[in-house]
Amino acid sequence: MKKLRFLILLFITIALIIALNISIKGLPAFGLLLNPTTGFWANAEIEKFYLPKEAVLDKLKEKTEVYFDENRIPHIFAENEHDLYFIQGYIVASLRLWQMEFQVIAAQGRISEILGNQEKYINFDKSQRRLGLVYGAKNKLKALEEDKLAKDLLGAYKDGVNAFIENLDDKNLPLEYKLMGYKPEPWTNEKTMLVIMNMSKILANMGDDIENTNFVAQYGKDLFDKMYKTDLKIEPVIPTPNKGWAIEKEDSMQKEISSQKPPIAIGAKSQKSKAKLSKTKNKPTYHIGSNNWAVSGTKTKSGFPLLSNDPHLGFSLPSVWIEMHLVGPQSNAYGVTFPGAPGITIGFNEKIGWGMTNSGRDVKDFYTVEYKDATKELYHYQNQWLKSEFVYEEIKIKGAESVFDTVIYTKYGPVAYTDFQTQNGKYDIAIQWMPHRASKEYLMFYMLNKAQNFEEYKEATRYFESPAQNMVFACVDGDIALRNQGKFPVQKYEQGKFLQTSNEGNVWEDFIPFEANPMQHNPKRGYVSSANQESTDASYPYYYTGWFEHYRNRVINNELEKMTQATVQDFKDLQMNNFNLIAFEALPLLLPYIDNTKMDFAHQDIFNALSKWDCYNNKDSKEAIYFEFFFNNYKTLLWDEFGDGMVAPNTVQTLELLKDSIAHPFIDNKTTNVVETQKDIINKAFNMAINESKEYENKTWGDYNEVTFAHVAKIDAFSRKVHAGGNNHIVNATRGTFGPSWRMILDFDKGEVNGIGVYPGGESGNPGSKYYDNFVDDWANEKYHRLENNKDKEFYKKGNYTRVVFLGK
């Protein structure tokens, strides 16, 4: 009896402990998660520094020191480049391991393995694999590893990350691993490549080929040309040089190609399909963008250049950026980088500074694949039958059986969509995408980190092929420059705008030569600037299409033009500029249509307010709310016909159509029985805005513009919200979940580079640390930090820094 009762109790106790240590029905294991030793409590940062002050690491060659400032920004001092990259990998992992691995797992299309058996996760994984992110990463890695230096540096970074992972115990495992119940895998060079593929997916993955083709099939090319004009309001990144474009003689043939018209795989107008069109998945939102500019000494108070960059990316916690200072034997670079990307991505050294904005030039073409038969084993290519390459993808799922998917690879690239419904019928659609190609982007960052002058900057950019960027430059010797850098195919006229067929054989073979990429070096006007607008005007000899911004660039240029004695403060003010150029141009077009004869007082008030508005989306503006509602309603009512399969004209096109009173069949709202005119829908949009704004009667634009920094895995409790001025298409492009993800200003005064900057986030990826989000409030309050790039260790020894020493064996 007593034996039995002992055995029962023993069984209960053991069962209880086991139950507390395993995950049941997707819930975390409560004992593992809640116990004070190794549970989440261990991630609550207390006074003790988060790393041991001294550590011995096998693969380290020499003693390497790291000084952390009071915001936990690391200053790494290494005796050789191997150690510099090794310790960078180690430190980034120590601050952001979960984030850096999770973004790679997402790129690999493996989130179902972590997040479980839900259709949306499995579909995401499938679409990631069909986009071929791993395929591109492998191609790039192969190219980079042919270069001994690059291979060594990538290897050092990887080893550093792994040295941190190997030293992790249950206690120090980042919180998200504990919550989701998994452990980190070893880092690889391929994962480092996937970081850049992730950026390509965000920045170079646009493509309206299918939607444009649908539009032409239904409404014809004439209407398309009228409604989707591309040469509107141009103030290009690179104005046409006085002496013309630098094109070598042997390129004249390629130049000619650009004026040829390709056969377009668009059907006749009669082929109207009533089928529900498929939605092109995986398209990036167009809110991404960025600003950068530099002015030469002729326009500054100090007589030396100033440089500014604020890349706009999706807001998240942890932030997409991590800030650091890397001092090696021949280098001293400060700035931000992506967790998982070696070196500094945007920043400066002792001589030069550089920054990026995205170039929206189209580098993704779509092809309908014509197979010989249902087996899909052969496809038509220039009147031959080529063999399809079948790649079998196993998608593992947490708590369920694996799902399998077959991805077909053609000469162009992977079949991204199968059985895709377009206006012309159902097709398998293959993509040809520049980021799939072998290239060596990391070499550019390595060289930029050390570059000393304009020539070295230009030479470094040679290695950067995708995602194409507008790279701004300034130097202590007074040079400023801006380069539209990437690798671009030589395209026929309008190639890439519409669906092509696999049989046409338009595999990119000719590329625009490096020397012909648009660039400006010390222009007469005394400044360079870019804000995602067209790279050039139509005089550029090569054809390209793409996704461009038409407002921020004009506001920036207007301000820069006026500057004669520019200071850092002027640059801050311009980064925070809330002038709403869309409103400024749209209101004079829209308001005259409003029938103000039979208005009640509320209508009259808002009408008057908008008529007199200075068009600044400042935090305290009320008019900004009215305009936002009014204009959004107008676009919604106007473009109500555009569902999943087509893309409505953008804002600048919309306003030009209104300005020129161009007739088109979309003005009429299809949901009503009467035929509307522009006047009808503008008045309707206005009335709707009045009703909607009642909810915000005592509120301002700042109340309305809630900015969310969502946790990378969308855990609400680890997210933050603030309120801010700005909007999309405003220089201060802060809106909702997008905006300036890093604000940097560099001053090249008297042979030194002095920087200030801030990003909304924090150095630590640990939600249990006060360094997780401590920059969010600074960012929201427009507060910048000094970017300390002193290369003298003694400076840090004396100052308020925490020293961590790493020793080799």
Partner 1 sequence: MKTFTSIILIAGLALLVHLYLPFWWLIAITSVLVSYILGENTWKSFLSGFVAIFILWLVLTGFIAFQNEFILSTRMTEVIKLPHSSLLFLLTALIGGLVGGFSSLTGYYLKTMKSIIL
What is the binding site for partner 1 (CB under 8 A)?
Answer: 2-3, 5-6, 9-10, 12-13, 16-17, 20-21, 30-32, 34-41, 43-47, 169-170, 175, 179, 715-718, 767-770, 772
CB of 713 to partner 1, least distance (A): 11
CB of 38 to partner 1, least distance (A): 6
Residue that has been written with the tokens 């890093």 in this structure: 742
CB of 379 to partner 1, least distance (A): 49
User: Are 475 and 448 spatial neighbours (Cβ–Cβ below 8 Å)?
Assistant: no
User: Are 774 and 72 spatial neighbours (Cβ–Cβ below 8 Å)?
Assistant: no
CB of 512 to partner 1, least distance (A): 50
Nearer to partner 1, 325 or 720 (CB): 720
Nearer to partner 1, 165 or 606 (CB): 165
- Interhelix angle 623-638/601-612, nearest 10 degrees: 100
Q: Spell out the SS3 assignment of 516-534.
A: HCCEEECCCCCEEEECCCC
Nearer to partner 1, 3 or 598 (CB): 3
**DSSP codes, 756-809:** EEE-SS-S---TTSTTSSHHHHHHHTT--EEE-----HHHHHHSS-EEEEEE--
Rounded Cα gap, residues 472 and 494, in angstroms: 29
Nearer to partner 1, 41 or 493 (CB): 41
483 strand-pairing partners: 471, 519
Rounded Cα gap, residues 238 and 240, in angstroms: 6
Nearer to partner 1, 562 or 770 (CB): 770
Dihedral (Cα; 607, 611, 613, 617), 10-degree rounding: 60
Nearer to partner 1, 72 or 450 (CB): 72
Nearer to partner 1, 33 or 306 (CB): 33
CB of 29 to partner 1, least distance (A): 11
Dihedral (Cα; 196, 197, 201, 204), 10-degree rounding: 70
Provide the CA 599 distance to its chain's centre, in angstroms.
45
CB of 197 to partner 1, least distance (A): 31
Residue type, 33: L
Rounded Cα gap, residues 668 and 57, in angstroms: 70
CB of 398 to partner 1, least distance (A): 18
CB of 400 to partner 1, least distance (A): 24
Residue type, 511: F
Q: Where is 203: in which H helix or E strand?
A: helix 189-203
CB of 399 to partner 1, least distance (A): 20
Nearer to partner 1, 6 or 493 (CB): 6
Both tokens assigned to 516: 């012909």
| DSSP-derived pairing of the beta strands 500-501 and 364-369 | parallel
Rounded Cα gap, residues 322 and 324, in angstroms: 7
Both tokens assigned to 508: 């990119």
Nearer to partner 1, 152 or 778 (CB): 778
CB of 762 to partner 1, least distance (A): 11
Nearer to partner 1, 34 or 602 (CB): 34
Rounded Cα gap, residues 238 and 218, in angstroms: 36
Nearer to partner 1, 43 or 128 (CB): 43
Nearer to partner 1, 12 or 275 (CB): 12
CB of 12 to partner 1, least distance (A): 6
CB of 32 to partner 1, least distance (A): 8
Kindly report the number of other CB atoms within 10 A of residue 729's CB atom. Answer: 23
CB of 116 to partner 1, least distance (A): 16
Both tokens assigned to 806: 């790493």
421 strand-pairing partners: 426
615: left (phi over 0), alpha (psi -120 to 50) or beta: left
Nearer to partner 1, 4 or 374 (CB): 4
Nearer to partner 1, 491 or 769 (CB): 769
CB of 735 to partner 1, least distance (A): 26
Rounded Cα gap, residues 236 and 214, in angstroms: 29
743 strand-pairing partners: 758
Residue type, 168: L
Both tokens assigned to 533: 């607008």
Q: How far is CA 122 from CA 101, 355, 543, 643, in A?
A: 19, 36, 38, 25
User: Are 575 and 291 spatial neighbours (Cβ–Cβ below 8 Å)?
Assistant: yes
Nearer to partner 1, 280 or 769 (CB): 769
Nearer to partner 1, 477 or 778 (CB): 778
CB of 714 to partner 1, least distance (A): 12
CB of 49 to partner 1, least distance (A): 13
Nearer to partner 1, 268 or 717 (CB): 717
User: Are 629 and 637 spatial neighbours (Cβ–Cβ below 8 Å)?
Assistant: no
Rounded Cα gap, residues 393 and 405, in angstroms: 5
Residue that has been written with the tokens 């799922």 in this structure: 397
| DSSP-derived pairing of the beta strands 322-328 and 74-77 | parallel
Residue 706's φ and ψ, nearest 5 degrees, are -85, 125
CB of 5 to partner 1, least distance (A): 6
Name the DSSP letter for residue 511.
Answer: B
Residue type, 170: D
CB of 9 to partner 1, least distance (A): 4
Name the DSSP letter for residue 160.
Answer: H
Name the DSSP letter for residue 218.
Answer: H
Both tokens assigned to 251: 């390129």
295 strand-pairing partners: 306, 527
Rounded Cα gap, residues 670 and 675, in angstroms: 8
Nearer to partner 1, 2 or 249 (CB): 2
